[in-house]
Structure 1
Amino acid sequence: MERFFSEALNVPPETFSFIILPILVFLARICDVSISTLRIIFVLNSRKGTATILGFFESLIWLVAIGQIFQHINNPVTYIAYAGGFATGTLVGMLLEERLALGRVVVRIMTQKPATKLVDYLQTHNFRYSTVKAESEEGIVDVVFTVLKRDRLPELLAVIESFNPKAFYTIEGVKKVSQEDAVVSGRLRQRWKQALKIR
């Protein structure tokens, strides 16, 4: 790599060692750590094929970056670039994960206020849910369980806030869902039948 920059681009060795190489290492680390974050998320969601492909590119980029560092072992600037790229890549990976909103979550909602309106909303907007009565230290409460795609979570939280700002809820990641989207697909099928007037 150094030969390419010096011969093809006429870059002085000092410029390559203390400016270009640290920048390349920094960018490489951002890429491989971001990919690593996404790979872990895909593993947790049982996306085997995608996780495998990401793992290949993650290790390839890492090997290229670490190889350049070993070739310039006496250059302390590359160490700083390596560590800085790792930290930045962690942040970038988290931001990407939030933006992609991969996978599903289970939300448990506990409220002393009757959850009739909340349940009506879940039913009319194709959320899969269950509801039970339970006893807490504050008395009888309604407990609503629902499993949804993460990209719909902000919608649900806004509904909970408007329904009862004092409602207590918990959110956990879900690895796998049986009969995925069965309720939604069934309702969509009914809508198509009604639209086509199929008896």
Structure 2
Amino acid sequence: MLNWDALFAPLFICLARISDVSIGTIRIIMIGRGNRLLASLLGFFEVIIWLLAIGQVFKNLDNVASYLAYGLGFALGNFIGISIENKLALGYQIVQIVTEDNLKTLSMLLREEGFKVTHLYASNERERLDFLYLITPRKKVSQAMQIAREFDPNALISVSDVRSAYPQLSHSRGRRWRAILKKK
């Protein structure tokens, strides 16, 4: 006779671990971005789900499949959590571009696409360097990099995360909606 608990428990454990680890991955990213409220809320649900999963493991100590499901759920939860975070692309990143070509032209191309660009000058012992610096939503970083690569395939591009920026960065779309609402 088929024991449904022996089949259901590992499946439940695996799905619960996928859920709690995925939530935990997003929570850790929110902590790194300084989003305390969302991180706390996610942490609450993460722990509740974890307690349900570990409770099933202890209830089924004689079922080796429960242990394997726990490990598999952890591994898949990390993978899925990172995938979700990449799709959400929350926050901002700094894109720095150094090229030997005319940066004013590249700066103009980026501005035409809606990027706010700062052109900076620096020097080392041998030469003067120009580079472009922009802070942009993560969802638009690949677009900025594509424009720079099309302009100069040998451009040096570095990207790093922004925890915070002052004054507060806002999406241009949001300002447009506020302007429309103010008119009414």
User: Taking structure 1 as the reference length, what is the TM-score of the superposition?
Assistant: 0.81
Aligned residue number for residue 29 of structure 1: 17
> 1:63 & 1:71 partners in 2: Cα distance?
12
Q: Is the aligned partner of 1:53 residue 2:41? A: yes
Q: Secondary structure at the match of 1:170?
A: strand
The alpha-carbon deviation at position 129 of structure 1 amounts to 2.6
CA distance in 1, matches of 2:74, 2:59: 19
Change (3 A) 1:137 1:96: farther
3-state DSSP of counterpart to 2:79: helix
% same residue: 31
Please give the residue correspondences for 1:111-150 in structure 2 after superposition, counting only pairs within 5 Å. Answer: 111-135=99-123, 139-150=127-138
CA contact (8 A) 1:130 1:145 kept: yes
* Gaps in structure 1 of 5+ consecutive residues: 1-10
Which of residues 155, 163, 166 in structure 2 aligns to 1:175? Answer: 163
SS at match of 1:102: coil
Q: Which has the larger radius of gyration?
A: 1
TM-score between the two structures when normalised by the length of structure 2: 0.87
Give 1:6's aligned residue: none
Q: C-alpha root-mean-square deviation of aligned residues, in Å?
A: 2.5
Q: What letter corresponds to residue 110 of structure 2 in structure 1?
A: L
Count residues with an aligned counterpart: 179
- Who is 1:97 aligned against? 85
Please state whether the residue corresponding to 1:119 is helix, strand or coil. helix
Q: Structure 2: where are the runs of 5+ without partners? A: none
1:149 CA displacement: 0.5
The residue aligned with 2:5 is: 16
